[in-house]
Amino acid sequence: MKIGIFDSGLGGLVLGRAIIQKLPQYDYVYLGDTARVPYGNRSKETIYEFTKQAVTKLFEQNCQLVVLACNTASAQALRKIQKVFLPKNFPNRRVLGVIIPTLEAIDSGHKNIGIIGTLGTVKSKIYELELKKLWPKAKVFEQAAPLLVPLIENNELDKAEPFLREYLKPLLAKKIDTLVLGCTHYPLLKNQIVNIVGPKVKIICQTDVVPSKLANYLARHPEIEKKLSKKHSQIFEVTDLNQDFLSVSKMLFGKSINSKVVIL
């Protein structure tokens, strides 16, 4: 059986590459809902329905485990997927998100935590709610950054800096000591963000955190790990094969990848 990786668009490719580099022995199916991106401005009900469709598609392709490489889906749909959808439909499969592993990487000594993410992720307050469980005394400041995903999806990273400065300005005014990049697209902007916030602010980037957390999860759950096939294969699927996906995937993987268009 395979590991599925789902994202609303291209951001999951960034995290998917990091996971594959960390755990290259497994077989993967990547699914990007590029026809309906972005999810960040959609309702919670719509995000759940889209996520449920994608998870079902991956399970139908023999995935034992699906990683929601999408903060919006993790924030708005994961809990219901785990508590309602899986027990009724796929009780022996697993779906994991990216938010809890990300927050676990925050140093307990850091008190002023900034979060940037999509409008849907920020509106959900999931980062603040979960972080308060880990570090009750931490101060959490969240900032929606709705224009970053479209810029990345259109491969216009060079135009992002003025928007980044505008989004980060209120967080820096709060004297944050940690900044969580709460979207799997944002690692592509990490260098620009570091230049803006300076060396004293610790950056929590999901590509640095989630692959190791997944490896740890599999080590703790041998009953799942032993079901996974190990043929080093990778399948890439999208709901719309556009030029942005082709160019970004080539930039990330250093070559053109064969991608299949699927219907959810």
205 carries an active-site annotation: no
Counting the structural domains of the chain, the total is 2
Least confident of 49-58, 128-137, 156-165: 128-137
pLDDT (0 to 100) of residue 258: 85
70 carries an active-site annotation: yes
Average pLDDT score over residue span 66-81: 94
Residue 247 has pLDDT above 90, yes or no: no
| Residue of 54, 70, 122, 164 marked active site | 70
Answer yes or no: do 91 and 115 share one domain. no
> Can you give the CATH number for the domain in which 239 is found?
3.40.50.1860
Answer yes or no: do 122 and 201 share one domain. yes
Q: Which of 168, 185, 206 finishes a domain? A: 206
pLDDT (0 to 100) of residue 21: 95
Answer yes or no: do 131 and 8 share one domain. no
Answer yes or no: do 89 and 157 share one domain. no
In terms of C-beta density within 10 A (0-12 exposed, 13-18 middle, 19 or more buried), how is residue 243 classed?
exposed
Per-residue confidence at 38, pLDDT binned at 50, 70, 90?
confident
All residues at 6 or more sequence positions from 190 whose CB lies less than 8 Å from its CB, including other chains: 181, 203, 205
What is the DSSP code string of 147-202? THHHHHHTT-GGG-HHHHHHHHHHHHHTT-SEEEEESTTGGGGHHHHHHHH-TTSE
| Residue of 15, 183, 188, 209 marked active site | 183
Least confident of 26-30, 147-151, 178-182: 147-151
Task: Indicate whether this model's pTM tops 0.85.
Answer: yes
pLDDT (0 to 100) of residue 249: 85
248 vs 211, residue with greater confidence: 211
Per-residue confidence at 179, pLDDT binned at 50, 70, 90?
very high
